[in-house]
């Protein structure tokens, strides 16, 4: 395709810029970010540490790309602060999610509630205090994300275009987390529900809304916002299904996430729903007995992996990922995007779907 020859936006340079803006935003936070007797307290310091830990920054990146896609060229400060606010919002989502999932680690480091528990290990109730401090840390992240946006300098047109998308995004991820919480714990063959959760928690939250937000900020019309969805929704589903595969078959040394975690939690993934649906009755009994057990052993995990493989679930999910990946790329071909934007979005798509971490 001719577009492959177009000059590309340097995604790594954009991500570095996101990191710089994040560091600045948190070093000179809005006046509303609490400080205790003049100095940053434990909570603010923990938020800075959490947000600045290395990450993919996929939501801010997509926001920046959406803005370029809509021909944004000035008002950069507003763009970058908006993009940064998405990453701080994401910190909120991760911190509370890790409490709910009981995840001990995040990006290879202790998760927020474990880090607080370690810091207060002298207290007899250190684990509980850790969870409670992490609830407040997540709340602070959400509040700071808002304060960042409130001071981003959006004009009236931008506010009218962006705030409904932002409110929608927040509601969607919350609903997804609640459905996830309620579905977690035992295997189910409800593929459609697992896909709905993936769509809310990942496709809309991680890909579609950030891209649309950036585009709306730069004045995108309805057609461009639809193109964003046509690219983002299949890609986001594929992204989540890749995550699900990595959660069971991935290398913990690369993902930074214990490989038994999803199985022990009994996450309602499309992968597991397909396996449950196509399992023999003996395989079904094994899944019922093992998935969701907190004391799941490596051997148990191997038996589950065997079933995921032999029911064809793993292969089906790989095929679904490929189909959705291709669907996302086709959406780009049909659209009015500048070649360098389309190229960057293709790169993002490839990174989201073909990856080991």
Residues at the contact surface with a copy of itself, assessed by CB under 8 A: 30-36, 41-43, 92, 96, 99-100, 123, 125, 129, 132-133, 135-136, 138-140, 142-143, 146-147, 150, 156, 163-164, 167-172, 174-175, 177-179, 181-182, 185
Q: Is the Cβ of residue 170 or residue 257 nearer to a copy of itself in the bound state?
A: 170
Closest CB to a copy of itself among residues 156, 281: 156
Closest to a copy of itself by CB, 93 or 308: 93
Q: Is the CB of residue 84 less than 8 Å from the CB of residue 18? A: yes
Query: If you write DSSP's letter for every residue of 76-140 in order, what string do you get?
Result: HHHHHHHHHHHHHHHHHHHHHHHHHHT-SEETTEE-HHHHHHHHTTTSTTHHHHHHHHHHHHHHH
Structure tokens at 219: 């004045």
At residue 109, the 3 state secondary structure works out as strand
List the one residue out of 84, 213, 207 whose CA is nearest residue 152.
84
Task: Name the 3-class secondary structure at 69.
Answer: helix
Given a contact cutoff of 8 angstroms between Cβ atoms, the answer to whether 63 and 214 are in contact is yes
Euclidean distance between CA atoms 300 and 286, whole angstroms: 9
Closest CB to a copy of itself among 52 and 163? 163
Nearer to a copy of itself, 29 or 335 (CB): 29
Least spacing, CB of residue 55 vs a copy of itself, in Å: 21
Nearer to a copy of itself, 187 or 335 (CB): 187
Kindly report the CA angle at 21 between 17 and 26, in degrees rounded to 5? 150
Shortest Cβ 61–a copy of itself spacing (Å): 24
Q: Quick one: CA dihedral 22, 23, 24, 29, positive or negative?
A: positive
Q: Which of 84, 92, 180, 80 shows the shortest CA–CA distance to 136?
A: 92
Distance in Å, CB of 191 to a copy of itself, minimum? 15
Tokens of 242: 């890749």
Handedness of CA 124, 127, 128, 131 (dihedral sign): positive
Any idea what the Cα angle at residue 233 is, between residues 94 and 201, rounded to 5°?
A: 25
CB of 43 to a copy of itself, least distance (A): 5
Q: How far is the CB of 314 from a copy of itself (least distance, A)?
A: 28
By C-beta, is 139 or 326 nearer to a copy of itself? Answer: 139
Toward a copy of itself, which CB reaches closer, 19 or 180?
180
Closest contact distance (angstroms) between CB of 100 and a copy of itself is 4
Instruction: Report which DSSP code applies to 208.
Output: I
**DSSP for residue 106:** E
CA 180 to chain centre: 14
Give the nearer residue to a copy of itself in terms of CB position, either 52 or 131: 131
- Shortest Å, Cβ 181 to a copy of itself: 6
- Tell me how far, at minimum, the Cβ of 285 lies from a copy of itself, in Å: 19
- Count CA within 13 A, CB hemisphere, residue 103: 26
Structure tokens at 67: 């803005």
Tokens representing 191 are 């593929």
Rank residues 33 and 215 by Cβ distance to a copy of itself and give the closer one: 33
Q: Which residues pair with 163 in a beta bridge?
A: none
**Least distance in angstroms from the C-beta of 162 to a copy of itself:** 10
Instruction: Return the number of other C-beta atoms located less than 10 Å from residue 43's C-beta.
Output: 19
In whole angstroms, how close is the CB of 51 to a copy of itself at the nearest point? 16
């Amino acid at each position: 395709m001719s577009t492959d020859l177009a000059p590309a936006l340097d995604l790594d340079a954009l991500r570095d810029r996101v990191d710089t803006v994040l560091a600045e935003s948190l070093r000179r936070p809005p006046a509303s970010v609490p400080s205790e007797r003049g100095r940053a307290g434990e909570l603010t310091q923990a938020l800075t540490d959490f947000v600045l830990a290395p990450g993919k920054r996929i939501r801010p990146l997509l926001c920046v790309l959406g803005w370029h896609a809509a021909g944004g060229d000035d008002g950069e400060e507003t763009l970058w602060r908006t993009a940064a606010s998405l990453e701080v919002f994401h910190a909120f989502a991760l911190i509370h999610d890790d409490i709910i999932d009981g995840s001990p680690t995040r990006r290879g480091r202790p998760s927020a509630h474990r880090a607080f528990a370690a810091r207060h290990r002298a207290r007899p109730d250190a684990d509980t205090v850790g969870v409670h401090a992490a609830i407040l840390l997540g709340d602070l992240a959400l509040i700071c994300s808002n304060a960042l946006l409130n001071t981003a300098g959006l004009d009236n047109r931008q506010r009218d275009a962006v705030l409904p998308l932002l409110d929608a995004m927040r509601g969607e991820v919350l609903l997804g987390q609640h459905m996830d919480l309620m579905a977690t714990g035992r295997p189910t063959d409800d593929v459609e529900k697992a896909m709905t959760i993936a769509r809310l928690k990942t496709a809309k939250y991680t890909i579609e809304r950030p891209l649309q937000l950036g585009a709306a900020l730069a004045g995108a019309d309805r057609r461009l916002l639809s193109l964003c969805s046509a690219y983002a929704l299949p890609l986001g589903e594929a992204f989540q299904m890749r995550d699900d595969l990595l959660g069971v078959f991935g290398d913990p040394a690369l993902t930074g996430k214990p490989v038994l975690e999803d199985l022990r939690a009994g996450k309602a993934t499309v992968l597991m729903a397909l396996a449950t649906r196509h399992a023999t009755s003996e395989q079904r009994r094994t899944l019922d007995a093992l998935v969701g057990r907190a004391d799941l052993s490596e051997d148990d995990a191997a038996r589950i992996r065997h079933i995921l493989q032999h029911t064809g679930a793993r292969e089906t999910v790989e095929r679904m990922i490929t189909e959705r990946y291709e669907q996302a790329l086709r959406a780009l071909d049909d659209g009015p995007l500048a070649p360098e934007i389309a190229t960057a979005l293709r790169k993002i798509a490839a990174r989201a779907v073909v990856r080991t971490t």
